[in-house]
Amino acid sequence: MAREKLINPFKPTAGAEPPVLVGRDKVLGDFSDGIAEGVGAPGRLIRITGPRGSGKTVLLTELGDIARESGWEVIDETASKGFCSRIAEAAAGERLVPGLEVDVHLGVLDVRSKGSSRESAPSLRAALTERADALGRQHRGLLITLDEVQDASPSEMRELATAVQHLIRERIDVAFAFAGLTTGVLDLINGEALTFLRRALPEELAAIPVDEVACALRQSIEKSGLAITDAALAEAAQKTVGYAYLIQLIGYHVWRAGRAHVDDTPVIDEEDVSRGIEQAMGRFHDAVHESAVSDLPLRAMEYLLAMTEDEGVSATAAVADRLGLPATSLTSYRRLLVQRQIIEPTARGFVAFSIPYTREYLMQNRESLLARYGR
């Protein structure tokens, strides 16, 4: 196959849907069952959580595709300020009502209809109820997806939850799937008056088994017109550590390395994988690690650097000793790092990095990171 006709099947872009959605069969099955089982089914109210790059946005997109295939309408939103108004506008669409145009000619009143004035915007609950009712008459349902929920204002989240709960109580075909960073989402839904959302079916996106990753990589590579040796495939799959973004990123760069010599051989070998992994890791550090730590306070950065002395789990007491500080003085910084999903508690008094290869990134860039703070 000519090189110019080959198209890279991997999509290492935030939210871009990959050619093969691997390791998420349970979530897709739960949602599909919810659509089929009717009002009140658990799969119609889903909470998707996980660290950065675990595939939350992609999964919301896939749920939307499943709903559309079932004839449902889908409203997709992100939880930035004003999302309730945007959802209401999407549900209401263009709401034009007849206006009146009045002219007076020689004492004669001339009244004509003018259909161009806009109705006042309905409330979120009214807009969703009206739209869902209209869809129901067509035997269709309504799915709302909301991404980046950790950034949502509690008041807006409460408004949306109340509206969805009302529709469910009215036995209307509606589903709601929301996603975000684990700690932020849990903090939000455990707040006041959000009990309803605590009942959502929890779907925590854990690492994808490496054997499933290998199957997906091979399937995508071979479908695109290239091939890969067993040894090269094993190395590439292992290096992804089952992390959704790394699957796409490593796949993308390994595939490019293989395409470079397609005129001689279409087979990706271990040298291609080594070259592709090196390029992928550079990009991963820039796109994920750098963005995660870029605006941390100095003490939080020092906390992370102290953790690099451990190969796995770190004892919070040991981290405090390395910094020469009482553990209680570091509580707020540890909480910040957990909230940002950079580290995660593994047991009482123990933490670990939640993003793959964070330790390696910090160790390689220690001097330049501290230089930002004048150290």
- Tens of pLDDT, residue by residue over 267-313, are 999 999 999 999 999 999 999 999 999 999 999 999 999 999 999 99
Which CATH code fits 25-94+119-204? 3.40.50.300
pLDDT value at residue 3: 58
Going from N- to C-terminal start, the domains of the chain cover 25-94+119-204, 209-292, 295-371
Which secondary structure element, helix H or strand E, spans residue 119, and what is its range?
Answer: none
Which secondary structure element, helix H or strand E, spans residue 202, and what is its range?
Answer: strand 201-204
- pLDDT tens for each residue of 337-364: 998 889 999 999 999 999 999 999 999 9
H-helix segments, the chain: 25-37, 56-69, 83-92, 124-137, 154-169, 182-189, 195-198, 210-224, 230-240, 244-259, 270-284, 290-293, 298-307, 316-323, 331-339, 358-364, 366-371
pLDDT value at residue 117: 42
pLDDT value at residue 80: 95
pLDDT value at residue 122: 73
CA distances from 204 to 32, 71, 186, 209, 287 (A): 17, 27, 11, 14, 23
What is the distance between the alpha carbons of residues 275 and 229, in angstroms, rounded to a whole number?
15
Which CATH code fits 209-292? 1.10.8
pLDDT value at residue 205: 87
The mean pLDDT values, 10 residues at a time, for the chain of 375 residues are: 76 61 80 93 94 87 95 96 95 55 45 47 88 93 96 94 94 95 87 82 90 93 96 98 93 96 96 97 94 94 98 96 96 93 93 95 96 92
* Domain 295-371, CATH among 3.40.1110.10, 1.10.1200.10, 1.10.10.10, 3.60.70.12: 1.10.10.10
Selection from 206, 187, 205, 182 nearest residue 343 by Cα: 182
Joined tokens for residue 30: 């739960």
